[in-house]
Amino acid sequence: SYVLTQPPSVSVAPGQTARITCGGNIIGSKRVHWYQRKPGQAPVLVVYDDSDRPSGIPDQFSGSNSGNTATLTISRVEAGDEADYYCQVWDSSSDHMVFGGGTKLTVL
Amino acid sequence: QVQLVESGGGVVQPGRSLSLSCAASGFTFGSNGIHWVRQAPGKGLQWVALISYDGRHQYYADSVRGRFTISRDNSKNTVYLQLNSLRDEDTAVYYCAKDLMSSLCDYWGQGALVTVSS
């Protein structure tokens, strides 16, 4: 089955840029989606189809996808961005939705 | 606005059954698939199942196939998840989520906690 690999944690100072990676075999050929989950809250879609943002998501969130790595970039990080972030793809070979293990973003 | 509300969670003994419901509003229910996704304590998100917009197609994670059944009633704007032969490792918050483009979840409910314990 398809596997997505994320770093367990990323730390960044306020105002800086955070980059969260998601590795998978030829992931560049798939559509990658990203979710933000804060404690006690439901997940929120922040980027879909590699780099598109749903309405209401600020432009500080952006994404890219190429080769074996997809990346979620969060610019001008603030304390309110502290959360767990998950990448996700649909694996059409198995008809399964696959999530990465999640990355905890800490704002120093 | 889109709303998804789960219900039916609770505490159940191993080997027993439980049924979850997901009531939807704010969108054309019969035009969208619905996913169930769970999160066990201290773990990440795990996809459980998907039902197509018309209920004709169901897809399951390997860990629940044969034990869980997803269904829907479009006249009631509701999706169900029947959980049978429950195991300790099924303990989790179960979320229902609206499918977009047969690929992702664009709206999520607040979740229902299922605890499997003797």
Greatest C-alpha distance within chain A: 41
Q: Using CA atoms, how far apart are residues B20 and B114, in angstroms rounded to an integer?
A: 9
pLDDT at residue number B102: 78
Q: How far is CA A88 from CA A20, B21, B69, B118, in A?
A: 13, 24, 23, 34
Q: Give the pLDDT confidence of B5-52 residue by residue, as tens digits.
A: 999 999 999 999 999 999 999 999 999 999 999 999 999 999 999 999
Neighbours of A1 (CB within 10 A): 9
Neighbours of A67 (CB within 10 A): 10
- Residues from chain A that touch B108, judged by Cβ atoms under 8 A, are 42-44
Q: Using CA atoms, how far apart are residues A33 and A44, in angstroms rounded to an integer?
A: 11
Give the mean model confidence (pLDDT) for residues A10-32: 97
> Token pair of B42, please?
């201290």
Give the mean model confidence (pLDDT) for residues A15-34: 97
pLDDT at residue number B29: 95
> A7 touching B, CB under 8 A?
no
- What mean pLDDT is reported for chain A? 96
> How buried is B115 (Cβ within 10 angstroms: 0-12 exposed, 13-18 middle, 19+ buried)?
middle
Strand partners, B48: none
C-alpha distance from B103 to closest chain A C-alpha (Å)? 5
Q: Using CA atoms, how far apart are residues A66 and B95, in angstroms rounded to an integer?
A: 30
pLDDT at residue number A75: 97
Strand partners, B60: B49
At B69, phi and psi to the nearest 5? -135, 125
Q: Using CA atoms, how far apart are residues B109 and B118, in angstroms rounded to an integer?
A: 28
pLDDT at residue number B8: 97
Return the minimum-mean-pLDDT range out of A13-22, B48-57, B101-110: B101-110
Alpha helix locations (H) across A44-93?
none
Give the mean model confidence (pLDDT) for residues A56-84: 97
> Does B101 score more than 90 pLDDT?
no
At A72, phi and psi to the nearest 5? -100, 125
- Percent of chain B residues topping a pLDDT of 90: 97
C-alpha distance from B16 to closest chain A C-alpha (Å)? 26
Residues 6+ apart with CB under 8 A from A79: A14, A107
Tally of residues, chain A: 108
Collect all residues from B whose CB is shorter than 8 A from any CB in A.
35, 37, 44-47, 50, 59, 61-62, 95, 97, 100, 102-111
C-beta atoms of B103 and A102 within 8 A: no
Strand, helix or coil at A59? Answer: coil
Nearest to B85 by CA among B71, B68, B60, B70: B68
pLDDT at residue number B42: 93
C-beta atoms of A99 and B106 within 8 A: no
Q: pLDDT-based confidence at B76, cuts 50/70/90?
A: very high
> Does B103 score more than 90 pLDDT?
no
> Token pair of B53, please?
């917009």
Nearest CA in chain B to A91: B103
Mutate to test the interface with B, among A86, A97, A98, A103 (most CBs of B within 10 A): A97
- Segment 27-46 of chain A within 8 Å of chain B by CB: 31, 33, 35, 37, 41-45
